[in-house]
Amino acid sequence: MPILEHLWIIPLLPLLGATVNGLFGRTWPNKIVNSVAVGATGLSFLAALEAVREFFLLSPEQIPWVRQYFSWIEAGNFRAGFDLQVDQLTVVMLLVVTGVGWLIHIYSMGYMAHEGGYYRFFAYLNLFMFFMLILVMAANYVLLFVGWEGVGLASYLLIGFYFLRKSAADAGKKAFIVNRIGDFGFMLGMFLLFRTFGTLDFVKLFDTATPLSAEAMGHLGTLTVACLLLFMGAAGKSAQIPLYVWLPDAMEGPTPVSALIHAATMVTAGVYVVARSHVLFMRAPTAMLVVAVVGCATALFAATIGLVQTDIKKVLAYSTVSQLGYMFLACGVGAFSAGIFHLMTHAFFKALLFLAAGSVIHAMGGEQDLLHMGGLSKKIKWTFRTMFVGTLAIAGIPPLAGFFSKDSILLSAYQSENGGPNAGHILYVAGLLTALLTSFYMFRLIFLTFFGKERYDEHHVHVHESPKSMLVPLAILAVLSIVGGWLAAPAFWGKPDYFAKFLEPVFAAPTGSEAGTAEAVAHALETPLAIVAVIIATLGGLAAWWLYLKQPDKPDALAKSFSGVYRTLLHKYYVDEFYNAAIVRPLLWLSTNVFWKTVDVSIIDGAVNGIAEGITVVGDGTRRTQSGNTRSYAVWVVVGAIVIVAVIFWPHVRPVLGVAR
Amino acid sequence: MIPTNYYIVLSAILFGLGVLAFIFKRNIISIFMSIELMLNAVNLAFVAFSQAMHKLDGQVFVLFVIVVAAAEAAVGLAIIILTARNRQSLNVERVDLLKL
């Protein structure tokens, strides 16, 4: 088992690529830079494939496969090691990260060809791959946190890739700072877990937690608090309410970055952590309900904003936030495998959509505004075809990937009874509404971009199809977006869902007769719910078709008649403005007036400068005693003598004079 | 026999007069003389204590003081003569170059 013994090779290859490119790439021609970067990721992908092949040969007792390479922190009974772990969940994440990551590297070769800082881009991208692989392969929370922070760093660097543009630099900072808020919760969660269980290794921790009984709903026990804190971190990284504001701004980065980091991999880390900690979450129903409600609310909320955005990448960004909400909804109702399944299919079709959007932007010479596109379907055929596949997939049209994953989430939400008998139905309806909106805004995007009149100046914009290196990844992702969901297809004819079956050892399904009846009920519900979902998705598409192709004047008229709603949506519910007024500005005021001007300038600087100034004043005064006049010196000698005599004789004189002590 | 206290008080008075003269006189020679007065006031105290305690240490010390005073007088007078030559004056107020 060579690779399974040497798991460290998989993350180390991209790190090597990042180091080589970062140190020496500056003077190298683009060809060498991208062969190093793409080669490193490609080899890492191959190593991951080999590891997965070997993984399937393992016997069930050997899973989870944990290898300890060295101890990183050892203090008292605390040990955090560089330990890597492979189980079914890791396998899924590993393949998604390396596979999609590799495709996006290939795509970037073409997309970034005319940009400055080529070596820098690939070095950062490889660095991201390294940290992401550490994140998904870590066998304890501490190492996971290293990857967690590392991907945050890579994200910051890549959002601010065009750092000369102020908006890009600001967006990078925003992403970093908002994530810090979440990370604060994550760290507190880790501390609490360590205090309770005495270890942060997944295997040991979950073994200790398994016999514990679930905490009561509404009771803030240790597990519930720890889970809520972990979820705070997850909400930051995965852009959930109320910490989602950084993701739309993160679109300032180059498009492949949006595809890789801000759609397919990094932002799903939060979902991964919740799924990884499912043992804890299953025993904290309150936390589960919070996860479900926050996920569901985010899904609906972001989808409504996506309806009216006109920037092609912003639409996709809100769509990503919305789909991440879906994944959390799945985790929150206990359908972890459905959440991870959606994570995987979403990685395929959202990476595809972003890359296709990048191809459109490339073709339009940098134009991102949907209102300045139109009629592109004939000019960039392959981009159009692949993007259309992606749209069908995300809208949930069978038999594409999104249909299956969304369907299993909605089914689980419908059946959920956590938090009351009707809670699941409310979540289901909200999820269905989100599906309607998703389908609508995605088809709106397609119709505005590829159909209708050409709304750009043909003399200035020379529309051209992208190079092969960009189209091949698009095609591969399109195929994956079609077939990726078929793993779950057998559920429709009563056979076990392969994907859920595969993950079952990790998410230990309910046992005994209970499981049997649940499955029967699920199967009975499966088809009607799927039909409803498809009808809803089709309705959304038709509505978009009617509004943006059939009656192109209607949207404006609608916007006018509902101008209040329209403007609220266009300004994203004024959340940024609210955060600015409620948090950023008071904080800035506090920092400026209290911490800077009062504490730093007045107190700290004041003390330092005050001492110096006081000494100057004293020196200035005593300087005058050195007059040069001999007699004045003589006087000082006498004064000194008197003082000495007084000091010596004072104890003897005091009782005589009757002075009290 | 005259009590020791009397000698000590006399010594203190002489010393005080010497200090006052040392501070207020302007003529260098007067200042010099006031120093001699202080030295001798101390000598008086030494001798008085020596007598009172029946020990010779005080008297030995007085001899040393006289020797030092003689040496001091020689050096001091030399300085005074040089000062008087350079400045054509014995006023101590005009000796004010003792600073950086």
CA distance B100 to chain A (A): 8
Q: Inform me whether the pLDDT recorded for A510 exceeds 80.
A: no
Contact across the interface for B23 and A629, Cβ inside 8 Å: no
Best mean pLDDT range from A115-119, A526-530, A580-584: A580-584
CA distance B17 to chain A (A): 13
Contact across the interface for B23 and A630, Cβ inside 8 Å: no
Q: Inform me whether the pLDDT recorded for A566 exceeds 70.
A: yes
- Rounded distance, CA A139 to CA A67, Å? 8
SS3 (DSSP) at A213: coil
Give Cα A150 distance to the centre of its chain.
12
Give A379-418 pLDDT, tens digit per residue: 889 999 999 999 999 998 888 998 989 988 998 888 888 7
Q: Inform me whether the pLDDT recorded for A449 exceeds 60.
A: yes
**Amino acid, single-letter form, for residue A229:** L
CA distance A661 to chain B (A): 28
Nearest one of A216, A200, A11 to A97, comparing CA atoms: A11
Q: Which residue of A has its CA nearest to B97?
A: A628
User: What mean pLDDT is predicted for residues A5-25?
Assistant: 93
DSSP string, B46-57: HHHHHHHHT-SH
Give A334-371 pLDDT, tens digit per residue: 889 899 999 999 999 999 999 999 999 988 888 888 88
- Rounded distance, CA A407 to CA A218, Å? 29
Give Cα A541 distance to the centre of its chain.
29
User: What mean pLDDT is predicted for residues A633-654?
Assistant: 88
Of the two residues A48 and A505, the one the predictor is more confident about is: A48
The minimal CB distance from B99 to the residues A628, A634, A635 is found for A628
Of the two residues A243 and A508, the one the predictor is more confident about is: A243
Q: Which residue has the tokens 């959509």?
A: A353
DSSP string, A443-504: HHHHHHHHSSS--S-TTT----PPPHHHHHHHHHHHHHHHHGGGGGGGGGGTS--HHHHHHT
- Rounded distance, CA A528 to CA A550, Å? 31
Which of the four pLDDT bands, split at 50, 70 and 90, describes residue A562?
Answer: confident
C-alpha distance from residue A582 to each of A81, A577, A579 (Å)? 41, 8, 5
pLDDT of res. A512: 40
Contact across the interface for B19 and A638, Cβ inside 8 Å: yes
- Rounded distance, CA A204 to CA A192, Å? 16
CA distance B15 to chain A (A): 12
Q: Inform me whether the pLDDT recorded for A490 exceeds 80.
A: no
Contact across the interface for B99 and A631, Cβ inside 8 Å: no
CA angle A296, A318, A476 (to 5 degrees): 105
User: What mean pLDDT is predicted for residues A562-578?
Assistant: 87
Chain A residues in contact with B99 by the CB 8 A cut-off are 626-628
Strands A78-86 and A65-75: antiparallel
Q: Inform me whether the pLDDT recorded for A233 exceeds 80.
A: yes
Contact across the interface for A629 and B100, Cβ inside 8 Å: no
Give A170-199 pLDDT, tens digit per residue: 999 999 999 999 999 999 999 999 999 989
Instruction: Please give the helix or strand (H or E) that residue A310 lies within, else none.
Output: none
Q: Which two tokens stand for residue A133?
A: 């692989």
pLDDT of res. A365: 83
Give B1-42 pLDDT, tens digit per residue: 789 999 999 999 999 999 999 888 888 899 899 999 999 999
The minimal CB distance from B96 to the residues A628, A634, A638 is found for A628
Q: What percent of chain A has pLDDT over 90?
A: 57
pLDDT of res. A509: 52
pLDDT of res. A605: 92
The minimal CB distance from B98 to the residues A628, A635, A638 is found for A628
Give B58-87 pLDDT, tens digit per residue: 999 999 999 999 999 999 999 999 988 988
- Rounded distance, CA B34 to CA B36, Å? 5
β-partners of residue A311 are A369
pLDDT of res. A511: 42
Contact across the interface for A635 and B31, Cβ inside 8 Å: no
Chain B residues in contact with A630 by the CB 8 A cut-off are 92, 95-96, 98
Nearest one of A136, A132, A41 to A86, comparing CA atoms: A136
DSSP string, A58-121: S-GGG-SEEEEEEEEEEETTEEEEEEEEE-HHHHHHHHHHHHHHHHHHHHHHHHTTTSS-HHHH
Mean pLDDT of chain A: 89
Q: Which residue has the tokens 């609490």?
A: A192
Which of the four pLDDT bands, split at 50, 70 and 90, describes residue A518?
Answer: low
**Which CATH class, in words, describes the domain spanning B4-91?**
mainly alpha
Q: Which two tokens stand for residue A429?
A: 């309806």
Which of the four pLDDT bands, split at 50, 70 and 90, describes residue A614?
Answer: very high
> Most A CBs within 10 Å: which of B24, B79, B96, B97, as the mutation test of the A interface?
B96
> Most B CBs within 10 Å: which of A630, A632, A638, as the mutation test of the B interface?
A630
The minimal CB distance from A638 to the residues B23, B99, B100 is found for B23
pLDDT of res. A1: 57
Give A309-341 pLDDT, tens digit per residue: 989 999 999 999 999 999 999 999 988 989 999
SS3 (DSSP) at A221: coil
Per the CB < 8 A criterion, the answer to whether A162 and A171 are in contact is: no
Q: Inform me whether the pLDDT recorded for A619 exceeds 70.
A: yes
Nearest one of A414, A342, A347, A391 to A545, comparing CA atoms: A391
pLDDT of res. A216: 80
Contact across the interface for A635 and B23, Cβ inside 8 Å: yes
The alpha carbon dihedral of A179, A185, A188, A192 has a sign of negative
Q: Which residue has the tokens 């066998």?
A: A139
User: What mean pLDDT is predicted for residues A543-558?
Assistant: 86
- Rounded distance, CA A89 to CA A324, Å? 18
Among the residue ranges A162-176, A445-459, A581-595, the one predicted with the least confidence is A445-459
The minimal CB distance from A626 to the residues B92, B93, B99 is found for B99
**Amino acid, single-letter form, for residue A75:** A
* The length of chain A, given as a count of residues: 661
Which of the four pLDDT bands, split at 50, 70 and 90, describes residue A514?
Answer: very low
Q: How many CB atoms lie within 10 A of CB A533?
A: 24
* Structural domain spans, chain B: 4-91
The minimal CB distance from B93 to the residues A631, A633, A638 is found for A631
Q: Which two tokens stand for residue A372?
A: 């300045």
B35-41: long-range contacts (C-beta < 8 A, 24 or more apart)?
B35/B72, B35/B76, B36/B69, B36/B73, B38/B14, B39/B65, B39/B69, B40/B14, B41/B11, B41/B12, B41/B14, B41/B15
Q: Inform me whether the pLDDT recorded for A513 exceeds 70.
A: no
Q: Which residues of A touch B (CB under 8 A)?
A: 626-631, 633-635, 638
Chain A residues in contact with B31 by the CB 8 A cut-off are 634
Q: What percent of chain A has pLDDT over 70?
A: 97
CA distance A599 to chain B (A): 41
Q: Which residue has the tokens 């159009």?
A: A384
Which of the four pLDDT bands, split at 50, 70 and 90, describes residue A660?
Answer: low
